[in-house]
Structure 1
C-alpha cells in the first residue's frame, strides 16, 4: 500500500471516528434573510463533558475563525452556543444575512486533533408573495372621467421589482416599471386588461387581472369602469343616463329664438321650428293627439289674426273714403 493510500485511509478513519463522537442534526442549512436557525448536536458526554465546544467559520477546519465558545472567551452578537451536557449541544444564529453564507464548524477541543463537524449555510432573499392590488382612492369617480391609481404590493419578499403589463390576445405589452398603474381618459381608449409582475433574485409572482371597461371614450370627460378582484364592484348606469339625457347644444337659429324679448315673437318662432320637425317628433315620445291639438290651436290663432287684420284694413278704407268725401263737400260749399 502506498503512502498516499495510507494517508487517505487514516483520514477516513479519523472522520468516521469523529462522526461517532459528534453528530449534528443538519449538514446543510438553507434560510432567508432575517431568519434564524438552531443546530442540535450530540457528543460523547462520557469523554468530552468538560471539554470546550466552539462555533467556527471558514472553509478549512485548520484556519476557521471561532465565533463563539462555551468558555465565553469568543463572543458574537448573532451566535450563541449552549452545552446542555447529556442533552446535547445547541448552536443558535439569528438575523441571517446574505453575507453569512459560508462553511461553519462545530468543534470539541481535544489534544492533538479537535473533533469537528462541518455545516454548510446558504442564506437567500425572501421569495416574493403573490402581489395584492388596491386603488389609492375610490373607483367611482371614473364614471365622471376622473383619474385613478392602482397600487401593486407584496406582503413578503426582499428587493422586489414591480412591472405592469397590458394583456392582449397575441402578446403582453410592458406598460411601465413601477408599483403604481395610473389610469385616465387619455390612456383608456378601449377595453383593456392589466396585471402586475413582481420579482426578485429568488422568485417571481403575477397578480390578478385589472379590467378596464370603457363606456364612453374621450380625451376628457370619458366614462370607464375599473374592476379589481377583492374590491367592491360598481357601475356607471346613473352617469350614463344623465349623459344620454343631456340637452344637445342649440343651433344658431334656436339661439336667436331665445334672444327675443317679445313673447309673441317667441311663440311664432317656436311654432315655425316645430313645423320643420313635425313628422320627426310625432313618433319620438310626443303623443300624436297633443301635436294635432297644438297645431289646431295655432291654426285657430292664425285664422283669428287674419280676420282681425282684414277687418282692420276694411275699417281703414271706410274711414279714408269718409275723409275724402268731407274734403270734397267742404270745397263745394266754399265755392
Structure 2
C-alpha cells in the first residue's frame, strides 16, 4: 500500500522535456511559457498543459485542443511548445506540468506559476484615426497606453492650464477637433493608474492657427510622434495637407494649394496669343488698303 502511494505522488522529471521551474505572470496580462523537448523523438506527438504536479494532474489544453484563455503552439523546428495564458487571475497561481503524449509514460516537467501586481509605466501615445481631418467638424483621436502594469488600469486625459488642470476624458482616448479649442495653445497629458501607483505621460502640445470651424488649422506635437493637420476651405477649391514633423524641430507650414496658382499663367499666355493675332490682321488690312489705292490711281 505504501509503495502504491509513493508511485502516485512522485514527481516525474524527464531529460526529454524541460522548462523554467518558476515563472511569474502579471495580473490581467498574458504569459507565455516555453517547454523544450527533444525534437528528434517527439515532433509528431501531442503536447499538453496540465494543472497539477503529478500524473493525476488535470489537462487544461493540448496542441490540437485550445481551451479558452490557454493555447499551445508547437514549434517543431526549434523543439519547443509555447503555452500562452491570457488575462491572468490570482487563482491561476500554482503548480502546472508540461507534458507530451507518448506510448508508456508521458515525459513531464513541473512548473510553478506565480502571479504578482505591477505598477504602471509612463503611458505612450499613438494615433487611432487616420492622419486627416474633415473640412468641417472633424477630429483626430489620440490614445495612451502603459506597456507595463497589472490590470485593471484606469486612464484619464487632462488639460494643463495656468490656474488648475481639468479632466476632459476618463478613458485612454483624446478626441481633438476644432470646436474644442478656445485659445491658440493647448496642453494635454494622460494619466494611468492601478493599485500599485499612478504615472503621467509627457505633454501633448496643440497649436491652433485658426479656430474658425470652416477654416480650421492646428498642429499636434507629441514626444517621438509629430504630425501637422491642416484643414483649409476656400470658395474655389478645398484641400487638406498633412505633414509629418520632427518632435525636436519646428516645421515650416507651407500654404495649402487651392488650385489657383496655374490660373494667372494661363491667362497671360492667352492674352499674348490674342495680341499677336490682332497685329497680324491689322498688318494684312493695311497692305490690302495700300494695294487697292495704288490700283485705283493707275486706272
Q: Which bracket does the TM-score occupy, shorter chain normalised?
A: 0.3 to 0.5
- The structure with the greater share of residues assigned to strand is 2
- The structure with the greater share of residues assigned to helix is 1
Larger Rg: 1
